[in-house]
Amino acid sequence: MPNREGELPRRTFIRNVGVGLGAAALLASCKQGTSQAAAPAPAAPPVTPAAAAAPAVATHGDAGAKVPIALLRHAKLATTEQTVPQDAIFACLDAGMKHVFGVTDPAKAWQQVAKPADVVAIKASCISGLIYTHPVLVAAIVQRLTGVGVVPENIIIYERDSGELSRSGFKMNRDGPGVRCYGTDGAYEDWLQHRDIRIRLTKILTQTATVLINVPIVKNHGCGITFSMKNHYGTVANPGDLHGGNCNPACAQLADVPVIQSKTRLIIGDCISGCFDQGPGGRPDTVWPCGALIVTQNMVAADAIGLELIDIERKRRGMSPMTPNAGYILSASQLGLGPNDRAHMDVLETQVG
């Protein structure tokens, strides 16, 4: 658990090491400014194994199985301000992990996500300069990972390019001590044909990471929602080629790419604030304090529940739903990637605080 509670501005949280997230090594690469704590351990080069072990991810195709997913609300998270309460984040995160992995100790859940030798890629969503993955949420994930033995230098926070991360409050660190944080910055694989799509994947995922944690932020889009599946448009070189037909079936087929499927261990949906209209960029008047986190191992389930949140807020404002636009979620379910309806989910929906 964090060492102290209270609300901290996002960038102040990343800037200062002594805010309750443990040793300086955890955030050395993601803080702003100079560390005020002890020097971090010497950098260890990331492990680059030949292949990653297949994760234990429940899908729609598992006979009789319901996909576990948690929607955790907390009154202290319902804000669009730059202050984010870390105690509320940990409360929601821990409750979600216990439900999804069927354990009473959240550390046992994180041990199923990553082993000490793993290289963990955390995919943030920072394309919008207005609404983006909260750095304080990523910092909480980092603490939980290092708490089960993952080496800080083997954690990589990534996006399409470094500039998007930097403007969102993350400090770049490509090869120094501490958590790594950088964009693909053009380092893509050769072209890959998968089903109907042709893509170039980031080498961060294909050559370095063994585990993938997807941390999108909930926003509406012409395709209904941009959340966990569409977050991987920032994992490829050519997202513009994947927008036809309201991203259907391209978005579903991208989620079906073997390296994305095999390395995805966790989706932590950032619903602290959300964008209900004019997404994905949004406007200040279309961002609302959703006050929640979504935790699951399944991208289809995450997008289905995230879409519910957007449509609830739109209905409250007298707006039409986005669900009719989100055909890619059904397509993904039809590919066997996961459930698009609650009947096939084990949903924990609760007010944590």
Residue 6: predicted pLDDT: 37
How wide is the angle at C-alpha 290 spanned by C-alphas 288 and 292, nearest 5°? Answer: 155
Q: Identify the CA nearest to 268 among candidates 150, 137, 145, 156.
A: 137
Per residue of the chain (353 residues), what is the pLDDT tens digit?
Answer: 333 333 334 333 333 323 333 333 333 344 433 222 233 333 444 544 434 443 444 344 454 689 999 999 999 999 887 678 899 999 999 999 999 999 999 999 999 999 999 999 999 999 999 999 999 999 999 999 999 999 999 999 999 999 999 999 999 999 999 999 999 999 999 999 999 999 999 999 999 999 999 999 999 999 999 999 999 999 999 999 999 999 999 999 999 999 999 999 999 999 999 999 999 999 999 999 999 999 999 999 999 999 999 999 999 999 999 999 999 999 999 999 999 999 999 999 999 99
Residue matched to tokens 């300069």: 129
| HSE-CB for 136 with a 13 A CA cutoff | 24
Residue 192: predicted pLDDT: 98
CA distances from 193 to 114, 160, 336 (A): 29, 20, 19
For residue 259, count other CB atoms closer than 10 A to its CB. Answer: 18
Residue 84: predicted pLDDT: 86
Residue 82: predicted pLDDT: 60
Residue 9: predicted pLDDT: 40
Question: Do you find a cis peptide bond into 339, omega within 30 degrees of 0?
Answer: no
Q: SS3 sequence, 118-137?
A: CCEEEECCCCCCCCCCCHHH
8 Å CB contact between 242 and 322: no
Domains, the chain: 60-351 (3.40.50.11440)
Q: What is the DSSP code (8-state) at residue 207?
A: I
